[in-house]
């Protein structure tokens, strides 16, 4: 039995993206639009489905980037995924947005960092496995840039908006370079969920999907 058709989304950062799997690959729509995700997401889903001649009735599972990231953005993605999956009785696959970020480049060793505002970053260290899947080393964390524990050995590539703000503080012989304008993308979320499905992961019930905030939400946080 083949893999189900996946719908995927990530709204955890300034970027909003949607992707769907087809028999010939992955089709994605991606846009950077701050504070517009609630208006953009559903029309983007419809456009991507229209592009490939599909409807929600053709989707067999939904994957969602669950953060860390902006609290409002993460909630939009999680609530939309839950609503669509509950309506169709579909399993959902939560995917770390930091892992999805690491999966956007063909680099074996990635230092993923997203600007968390308030003088902090969300960070994670990822190394590709034999199948090319970025696997987390240690734990994802939110902290001041000076407190990030980047590895002292290996040749690493920096990725994410945290590098735009703090790259001057993270120099060292093991840093090959960095891409400071990179974001998690729904296409990467989808491929990570597909890999889990292929290995036997059946996903979770929509009601069990939760945001991956790392730090508690504050009233003014968005």
* pLDDT, tens digit, 9 for 90 and up, residues 48-84: 999 999 999 999 999 999 999 999 999 999 999 999 9
**pLDDT at 99 exceeding the cut of 80:** yes
pTM, to two decimals = 0.95
d(CA 145, CA 63): 30
Query: Would the pLDDT of 30 be above 80?
Result: yes
Report, as an integer, the average pLDDT of 99-116: 96
Do the beta carbons of residue 141 and residue 116 sit within 8 Å?
Answer: no
- Residue 88: CA count within 13 A, CB half-sphere: 18
Q: What is the pLDDT of residue 172?
A: 86
**Which two tokens mark 50?**
């229209």
- Gap between the Cα atoms of 59 and 70, Å rounded: 27
Q: What is the pLDDT of residue 215?
A: 74
Average pLDDT, the chain: 94
pLDDT the model gives residue 1: 60
Instruction: For 161-185, write each residue's pLDDT tens digit.
Output: 999 999 999 988 899 999 977 999 9
- Structure token digits, residue 162: 């945290």
Backbone φ and ψ for 168, nearest 5 degrees, come out as: -65, -25
User: Which secondary structure element, helix H or strand E, spans residue 72, and what is its range?
Assistant: helix 71-88
Domains of the chain: 6-97+184-208 (3.30.420.40), 105-179 (3.30.420.40)
Query: 164 φ, ψ to 5°?
Result: -65, -40
What's residue 219's pLDDT?
Answer: 45
27: number of CA atoms within 13 Å, CB side?
Answer: 16
pLDDT of 160 > 90? The answer is yes
Given a cut of 60, whether residue 217 has pLDDT beyond it is: no
Give the model's pLDDT for residue 157. Answer: 97
């Amino acid at each position: 039995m083949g893999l189900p058709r996946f719908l995927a989304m990530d709204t955890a950062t300034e970027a909003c993206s949607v992707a769907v799997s087809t028999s010939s690959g992955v089709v994605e729509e991606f846009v950077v639009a701050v504070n517009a995700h609630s208006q953009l997401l559903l029309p983007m889903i419809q456009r991507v489905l229209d592009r490939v001649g599909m409807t929600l009735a053709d989707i067999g599972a939904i994957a969602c980037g669950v953060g860390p990231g902006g609290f409002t953005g993460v909630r939009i993605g999680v609530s939309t995924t839950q609503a669509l999956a509950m309506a169709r009785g579909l399993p959902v696959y939560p995917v770390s947005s930091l892992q999805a970020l690491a999966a956007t480049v063909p680099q074996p060793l990635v230092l993923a960092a997203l600007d968390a505002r308030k003088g902090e970053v969300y960070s994670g260290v990822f190394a590709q496995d034999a199948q090319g899947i970025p696997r987390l080393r240690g734990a994802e964390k939110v902290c001041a840039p000076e407190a990030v524990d980047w590895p002292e050995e290996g040749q690493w590539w920096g990725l994410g908006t945290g590098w735009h703000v703090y790259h001057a503080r993270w120099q060292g012989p093991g840093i090959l370079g960095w891409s400071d304008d990179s974001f998690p993308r729904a296409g990467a979320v989808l491929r990570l969920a597909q890999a889990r499905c292929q290995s036997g992961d059946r996903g979770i019930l929509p009601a069990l999907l939760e945001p991956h905030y790392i730090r508690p939400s504050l009233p003014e946080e968005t």
